[in-house]
């Protein structure tokens, strides 16, 4: 059997593009390959096959359910297909969306975020915590805000990122290239900008 070609399939609606971009960048801090299928104008067999192949080839299916995406036939069909394939699934319910409306995955253990803006870091901490455990990840990539170089930082020994980070203290270390002191949010693992 061929190895999966991606680690995470991120199911979403294009109407949530700004949120999805941030979610993707945050997940990529764990050095995971993330597949984001864009909605297309063309609904031919080739497009359907490409989405189906991406679903078959992923290791883990993460679906961002918002008021917008829960109405998307693509998102709903991707959920059904992922369930049929027996994929590991993490539902993420955002905002007012009601869990019972998510059909086959309504009973699954997932992540609940009250609002995408206020709860973003909290939501990412729970998503990344799930992925860290699933993939048994020990380190992540931090990007220097000064020179842009990536460094590998160790995750805390306690692999529950959320429990570890509840106090909200940023993780800090100096860049191995330029020495700049960088700060990373302990839940989203995104670099905290300090420049004025």
Indicate the residue among 108 and 180 with the shorter CB distance to Zn ion. Answer: 180
Indicate the residue among 144 and 161 with the shorter CB distance to Zn ion. Answer: 144
DSSP string across 45-94? HHHHHHHHHHHHHEEEEEEEE-TTGGG-HHHHHHHHHHHHTT-EEEEEEE
Q: How far is the CB of 196 from Zn ion (least distance, A)?
A: 18
Dihedral sign from CA coordinates of 52, 57, 61, 65? negative
Indicate the residue among 134 and 149 with the shorter CB distance to Zn ion. Answer: 149
**CA-CA distance, 5 to 56, in Å (whole number)?**
9
Q: How far is the CB of 174 from Zn ion (least distance, A)?
A: 8
Q: How far is the CB of 184 from Zn ion (least distance, A)?
A: 13
Indicate the residue among 150 and 159 with the shorter CB distance to Zn ion. Answer: 150
Residue 104, both tokens: 């086959």
Q: How far is the CB of 83 from Zn ion (least distance, A)?
A: 44
Q: How far is the CB of 191 from Zn ion (least distance, A)?
A: 11
- Give residues in contact with Zn ion (CB under 5 A): 144, 146-147, 149, 175, 177-178, 180
SS (H, E, C) 1-38: CCCCCEEEEEECCHHHHHHHHHHHHHHHCCCCCEECCC
**CA-CA distance, 79 to 82, in Å (whole number)?**
5
Indicate the residue among 85 and 147 with the shorter CB distance to Zn ion. Answer: 147
């Amino acid at each position: 059997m061929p190895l999966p070609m991606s680690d995470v399939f991120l199911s979403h609606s294009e109407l949530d593009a700004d949120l999805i971009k941030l979610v993707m960048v945050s997940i990529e801090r764990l050095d995971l390959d993330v597949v984001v299928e864009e909605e297309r104008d063309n609904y031919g067999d080739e497009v359907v096959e490409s989405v189906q192949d991406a679903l078959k080839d992923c290791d883990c299916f993460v679906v961002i359910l918002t008021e917008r995406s829960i109405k998307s036939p693509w998102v709903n069909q991707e959920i059904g297909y992922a369930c049929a394939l027996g994929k590991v699934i993490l539902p993420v319910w955002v905002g007012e969306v009601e869990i019972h409306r998510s059909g086959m995955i309504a009973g699954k253990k997932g992540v609940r975020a009250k609002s995408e803006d206020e709860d973003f870091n909290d939501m990412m901490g729970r998503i990344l915590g799930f992925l860290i455990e699933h993939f048994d990840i020990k380190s992540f990539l931090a990007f220097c805000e000064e020179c842009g170089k990536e460094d590998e930082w160790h995750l805390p020994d306690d692999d529950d990122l959320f429990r570890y980070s509840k106090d909200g203290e940023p993780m800090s270390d100096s860049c191995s290239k330029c020495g700049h002191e960088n700060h990373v949010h302990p839940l989203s693992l995104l670099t905290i900008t300090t420049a004025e």
